[in-house]
Structure 1
Amino acid sequence: MRAFLLVHDDREYVRRPGEELQTDLGVLDVPEAVEPGDVLETHLGEPFTVRELRGPDLFEHFERTGAPMMPRDIGLVMGHTGAGGGDRVLDAGTGTGVLSAYLASAGADVRTYEIDEEFAAVARGNMRLAGVEDSVDVRAGDVTAELDELADAEPFDVLTLDTADAPTVVERAGDLLIDGGFLSVYSPFVEAVRETTEAAREAGLAEIRTFETIQRRMDVGERGTRPSTAGVGHTGYLTFARLE
């Protein structure tokens, strides 16, 4: 059963139909027949607007098992690979599962590997929260142990990696991807970029490019507009390549 976002001013809560919300604004029972756009009131008469859960909401409300991939990084992954409806995606390093949920919401079928069984269980719960559990197969295990089996099966359209052993998987990209399929590797440290790039070259991949992901928020005030001095602009490095 899919969940919805309940919004009151700057407050947001995630609940499913039939569940109860208790806050200092009162108690609200979410009806079974609820739809986005409905306005529900607590027993104290405080209104909450029902909204569909979208990508940024998932990032904010998923149960976290570590630092999830940022929306700006996910945007680059989807923009540079074209991942979308009908694609089969092989992902490794599930973590919180934000990337998998974005991909599935765009219409892709995702098989994702998480080496930590407890993290994998949390990710499955997050997929249910996002309503994409039928499109995301979360597997607990090391993808490198499955490479031979995966190489013998139907190839994938896109390969996305966020693991320390990504170069090992990249070496087999030619066996895992369809002709014209894309590879995306997220690296938190620049040292890993060279290993990934060399592995991609050895695998015969083309169009190998790496980007540092940096984003600056702009503050607009009465005195003028300038980049914000708050927050960290850098998150990591994304390497893309294509099998030709």
Structure 2
Amino acid sequence: MHAPVLLVRDDREYLVRPGEELGTDLGVLEVPADVEPGDELETHLGNEFRVRRLRGPDLFHHFERTGAPMVPRDVGLVIGETGVGVGDRVLDAGTGTGVLAASMARAGASVVTYERDPEFADVARENMALGGVAEDVDVRTGDLTEELDSLAAGDPFDVLTLDTGDAPAAVARASDLLVDGGFVAVYSPFVETSREVVEAAREADLADVRTRETIQREMDFDDRGSRPSTAPVGHTGYLTVARNE
């Protein structure tokens, strides 16, 4: 199956698969099976669209949502802090829309991810196909905490990523799930959960336990000068990282 591409015109973007037909108010587009990034396509009304390769941040904007997906900067923090890369095996829970799982797969990892809600899991599987990583992401319907014993009995993972309210229970078993030197990363919108995660990590004798608030300020530049934007502070949550040693 051909990888999807973006069709771009001004502020419009459409994610399509090569060989598909796209209908818009600017006309119908026949997308060739051999379409390449950089090509220009015309609708039957003569309106042009540029073809762009799908990149990681585009997943956030074009995946079907089943809730608030992890924003690109937080995805980047998780990948950067854990070093997820080619050949890694990742165990993930709290799939949701699947932006994190898909991004880690695009970085070269093989991901097993758990989603409790069957409908959310179905959407995540469709998103993995849309993102071109269906073969690299195993979306399982279920509760990770109920599978910890069987997972611990198998081959260890390189990274454990969690975005669930019961993350402390999984963190407590991190040493059974991870290779020596493997990382655990827990994202939470609530500081109370982060505190419980830190306590669980310390009790499990994980190393380098640390929590950071994920926050970002945009800058405004105009004729008067330059300053941080007066828009609401860009807080998204808390990221706790620890290492199995």
Which residue does 2:64 correspond to in 1? Answer: 63
Q: CA deviation at 1:56?
A: 1.1
Q: CA deviation at 1:232?
A: 4.4
User: Secondary structure of the residue that 2:35 maps to in structure 1?
Assistant: coil
Q: Aligned letter for 1:159? A: L
Q: CA deviation at 1:231?
A: 4.5
Separation in 2 of the partners of 1:52 and 1:60? 14
Which residue does 1:204 correspond to in 2? Answer: 205
Alignment of 1:54-93 (within 5 A): 54-93=55-94
Moved over 4 A (4+): none
C-alpha distance after superposition, 1:150-200 (max 9, x if no partner): 000000000000001000000100100000000000111111111101100
Moved more, 161-170 or 18-27: 18-27
C-alpha distance after superposition, 1:98-121 (max 9, x if no partner): 000110000000000000000000
Separation in 1 of the partners of 2:127 and 2:57? 14
Separation in 2 of the partners of 1:221 and 1:21? 40
Which residue does 2:194 correspond to in 1? Answer: 193
Separation in 2 of the partners of 1:194 and 1:16? 44
Q: Does 1:111 align with 2:112?
A: yes
Which residue does 2:147 correspond to in 1? Answer: 146
Which residue does 1:36 correspond to in 2? Answer: 37
Which residue does 1:215 correspond to in 2? Answer: 216
Separation in 2 of the partners of 1:140 and 1:31? 35
User: Secondary structure of the residue that 1:59 maps to in structure 2?
Assistant: helix
Separation in 1 of the partners of 2:33 and 2:5? 12
Q: CA deviation at 1:17?
A: 1.4
Q: Aligned letter for 1:132? A: V
Which residue does 2:160 correspond to in 1? Answer: 159
RMSD of equivalent CA atoms? 0.9
Which residue does 1:45 correspond to in 2? Answer: 46
Moved more, 39-48 or 121-130: 39-48
User: Secondary structure of the residue that 1:148 maps to in structure 2?
Assistant: helix
Separation in 2 of the partners of 1:146 and 1:86? 23
User: Secondary structure of the residue that 1:44 maps to in structure 2?
Assistant: coil
Q: CA deviation at 1:222?
A: 2.5
Q: CA deviation at 1:8?
A: 0.5
Q: Aligned letter for 1:108? A: A
User: Secondary structure of the residue that 1:195 maps to in structure 2?
Assistant: helix
User: Secondary structure of the residue that 2:147 maps to in structure 1?
Assistant: helix
Separation in 2 of the partners of 1:20 and 1:135? 27
Percentage of matched positions with identical amino acids:
72
TM-score (norm 1): 0.98
Unaligned runs of 5+ in 2: none
Aligned residues: 244
Moved more, 93-102 or 21-30: 21-30
User: Secondary structure of the residue that 2:240 maps to in structure 1?
Assistant: strand
Separation in 2 of the partners of 1:231 and 1:49? 34
Separation in 2 of the partners of 1:39 and 1:12? 14
TM-score (norm 2): 0.98
Q: Aligned letter for 2:179? A: I
